[in-house]
Structure 1
């Protein structure tokens, strides 16, 4: 098989696998309400496949360096969520989504200018989440209306994530680990939720999903830090598995804490 055809077929397979992950997660999100939906949305359903495919093509040092750039980008994502959540209360999709994406792009453009260390990336995350979590708290509790899926929802989500994976995989060899780490963290799931749910159920309910994602996104940042350290010590395969395990354990803990709080509230009533 010619080399170019082999690359194209392998790239299409990667795109299809990544798209399947994101579509499955977003369908679960729609059916489970804002709290569970937020926990699913903050699992690495988009960045995870991108990093797996990067690990296939590059060594552990590349993945570790990419993770250092991804860590501050996670802070940019929480500011993107905050921007959308606030604006979506009173504005339409174009204003809310456009401003949120502009904030993410502006912050990512600044992030790419620096060589990040693990300590600096963690510090930026803790500062960002220390600011955003209290501000998002008042927007979490909104009743989720029934969502009626349209024919183009799943294809659009699949195209979004497949395009991201194609960009990451195709350009990683010449843009290097820093830019690859930034591109891999573009919030495809958040973006698709905004674009699909906002016109259908309104800004506040859609914003509630993103507002509930703050603690889950903090755990995602910790998982990126774990990945950076682990791939250097144990290699890419085990490092990625440990990062995924960190995300899952963190979100399960959040889910358990939430259920316990609900039970206490019911007992008080």
Structure 2
């Protein structure tokens, strides 16, 4: 088998695996309501496969450096969510989604101009979430209408995440860890939910899913920090496992707290 054919086959396999993760998470999100959906949406179903493939192709130092670049991007994502949530209450689908994506692109472009330390990345997240979580709180409680899936939903989501993985895997060797870390954290799940759900169920219910995602996204930022530290000291396999474990434990804790509050009422 030629090297070119070998690369194409494995690239397609990686794209298919990543797409399966995101599609599964999106379906669960639609069927579970905004609270459970938000917890699923903030699991590393998009960034996780991208980082696994980066770890396969590069050494631990590359992955650790990429995580440093990803950490402040997590702050950009919560501002993207806030932009969409606020605009989706009254503005059209096009204005809400385009503005949110535009905010992420601008902030990501600024982020990639700097060499980030772990402390700086954590500080940016603390400030960003300190601002956004209180502002998002009042948009969280909206009843989720019944969603009827259309034939193109799953292919669209699969194509979206597969394209992201293809970009990350194909370009990581020459763009370096900083840009790879930025690209890997593009919020595919948020984008697909906005694009698919907003025209169907309206802005406020779709915004409720993103508003409920704030606390989960905070945990995702912690997982990125864990990834950087653990990969540096223990290697990529242990680092990725600990980062995934951080996300899962954090989101399960949020679920348990929310369930206890509901039972109390």
TM interval, shorter chain, is over 0.9
Displacement of 1:92 in angstroms is 1.2
In the TM superposition, what are the counterparts of 1:127-138 in structure 2 within 5 Å? 127-138=127-138
2:61 counterpart of 1:61: yes
Q: Please provide the CA RMSD for this pair.
A: 0.2
Structure 1 outlier segments of 4+, above 6 Å: none
Q: Which runs of 5+ in 1 are unaligned?
A: none
Residue 195 (structure 1) aligns with = 195
Query: Secondary structure of 1:147's partner?
Result: coil
Distance 1:63 1:181 in 2: 8
Q: Which runs of 5+ in 2 are unaligned?
A: none
Distance 1:77 1:232 in 2: 25
Residue 231 (structure 1) aligns with = 231
Deviations 1:58-108 (A, max 9, x none): 000000000000000000000000000000000111000000000000000
Distance 1:93 1:44 in 2: 26
Distance 2:200 2:64 in 1: 40
Deviations 1:140-188 (A, max 9, x none): 0000000000000000000000000000000000000000000000000
Residue 27 (structure 1) aligns with = 27
Distance 1:21 1:215 in 2: 21
Distance 1:228 1:77 in 2: 19
Residue 98 (structure 1) aligns with = 98
In the TM superposition, what are the counterparts of 1:37-76 in structure 2 within 5 Å? 37-76=37-76
Deviations 1:15-57 (A, max 9, x none): 0000000000000000000000000000000000000000000
